[in-house]
């Protein structure tokens, strides 16, 4: 019985972390697409505030996804 409870807890934790990981992946894809759009529209040689902001968001979401993936393993 104890083993089943531990398995149930582990499965719940896995599913919660997996869901968070999928959300983070979606956010990362969205931010990367926004970054590409800004890069295409920005003038060459200069980085706009918007692009810098998007790069920070991308880095933040990427780090979060990596931490979640490490927690799952």
- In this prediction, residues 3-19 reach a mean pLDDT of 93
Any idea where the domains of the chain sit in the sequence? Answer: 2-72
Helix or strand run (H / E) with residue 56: helix 49-72
Answer for the pair 61, 24: CB distance below 8 angstroms, yes or no: yes
Say which residues have a Cβ less than 8 Å from residue 21's Cβ, sequence separation at least 6.
Answer: 65, 68, 69, 72
Average pLDDT for residues 54-60, to the nearest whole number? 80
Per mean pLDDT, which range of 5-9, 12-16, 20-24, 35-39 is the poorest? 35-39
Give me the pLDDT at residue 15, please: 93
Mean pLDDT of the chain: 81
In the predicted model, is pLDDT for residue 12 greater than 90? yes
Is 70 exceeded by the pLDDT of residue 28? yes
CA dihedral 41, 45, 50, 53 (to 10 degrees): 140
């Amino acid at each position: 019985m104890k083993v089943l409870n531990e398995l149930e807890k582990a499965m719940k934790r896995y599913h919660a972390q997996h869901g968070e990981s999928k959300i983070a992946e979606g956010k990362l894809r969205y931010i990367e697409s926004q970054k590409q759009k800004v890069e295409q529209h920005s003038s060459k040689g200069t980085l706009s505030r918007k692009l810098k902001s998007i790069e920070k968001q991308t880095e933040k979401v990427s780090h979060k996804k990596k931490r979640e993936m490490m927690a799952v393993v």
